[in-house]
Amino acid sequence: MTTPSSVADQGAKPATTATATAGGYSLAGRLAAEGLGTFLLVLAGLGIALFNGASSNFPVGIGFGLALVAGIIAFGHMSGGHFNPAVTLGAAIVGRIKWIDALWYAITQVVSAALASVVLFSVLKVLPAITAGNGQLTTATLFNSLANGYDTHSPNGVVLAGAFLIEAVVTAVFVAVFLAATSPRVNNVLAPVGIGLAFAVLLTVALPLTNGSLNPARSTAVVFFADGWATEQLWLFWVAPLVGAAIAAVTFRVFTPAAPVAAVVPDAGVDDEDEDEDDDEVAVVAAVAPAAALPQPVPAANDAQDFFDKPETGRG
């Protein structure tokens, strides 16, 4: 005889499989998406700053923001569209990604950002102004202009405490925007645009103070080709964004309602002849009651990815 308990068990198996595959994409597929998105973000953002810079009226912050919008639209449905170790930390804290997967995400993001930096370095090495030894123009001086720093290496001489504060605060706000915009409770197709605009605005705030990080992978990518001081000060542009992301994620988790948990009741639908072996069985209410009459739980893992994977009919 099929009991309500066995029905519930059978219904749980597909959900478990879906969670394990994260919307149908393997870990390798998600890492590839994260790598491509991070590469796009760093190549576009640093490329605009490097090759346009002060000679262009196109703001660097807007360039980073537009690249982030494009990356999330293109790859967000696969990986969640983090492209930033700070965002990945926030997602892990709120339970949207497994911690071991978060570690692989961060490694992929750093490696991809470094590859983007290698491409920019390679282009610089063939520029006539550099190959001809024009004045003091070298690849190191150009990458110094991209590196994040404080004290004498801050664009406006901001001290360590001020640099830490601004990086932590703007990253916290950005991670909060990301978590809120990609929540499964939000049915908003403009989430990539909102996230990108938030990043552009917050980066513009930080640029005159620390050269604008908000992303440890972006900060790390530059130090390989800059002078030694960039490596010495890199720690701050890991610690401050990660602290800000952790604060935002913990706050988000505290003030976001938890997903409703299905109640359980004793299984009363067991034949007398099976009573001895099934005394301890329980049935999930969802298995014996109409689905519409029950609160629908929100998936606990990969919320951002679930947002991007919503069917068209669910977007109104």
Superfamily of domain 26-255: Glycerol uptake facilitator protein. (1.20.1080.10)
Best CA proximity match to 200, nearest among 17, 22, 41: 41
- Please tell me which residue, 206 or 280, carries the higher pLDDT value: 206
Mean pLDDT of 283-303: 39
Amino acid 267: pLDDT:
47
pLDDT at position 54 over 60:
no
Asked whether the whole model's pTM tops 0.85, one would answer: no
What is the spatial distance between Cα 202 and Cα 212, in angstroms, rounded to a whole number? 9
Amino acid 137: pLDDT:
75
pLDDT at position 235 over 80:
yes
Question: DSSP 3-state assignment of 282?
Answer: strand
- Please tell me which residue, 181 or 305, carries the higher pLDDT value: 181
Amino acid 127: pLDDT:
81
Question: DSSP 3-state assignment of 229?
Answer: helix
Angle of helix 99-124 versus helix 85-93 axis, rounded to 10? 170
Amino acid 305: pLDDT:
52
pLDDT digits (tens, 9 = 90+) for 130-161: 765 556 678 888 999 999 999 999 999 999 99
Q: Give residues with Cβ within 8 angstroms of 144, minimum separation 6.
A: 153, 226, 227, 230
Q: Please give the mean pLDDT across all residues of the chain.
A: 80
pLDDT digits (tens, 9 = 90+) for 57-100: 678 999 999 999 999 999 999 999 999 999 999 999 999 999 99
pLDDT at position 296 over 80:
no
pLDDT band with cut points at 50, 70 and 90 for residue 283: very low
What is the spatial distance between Cα 134 and Cα 128, in angstroms, rounded to a whole number? 8
pLDDT at position 34 over 80:
yes
Amino acid 291: pLDDT:
37
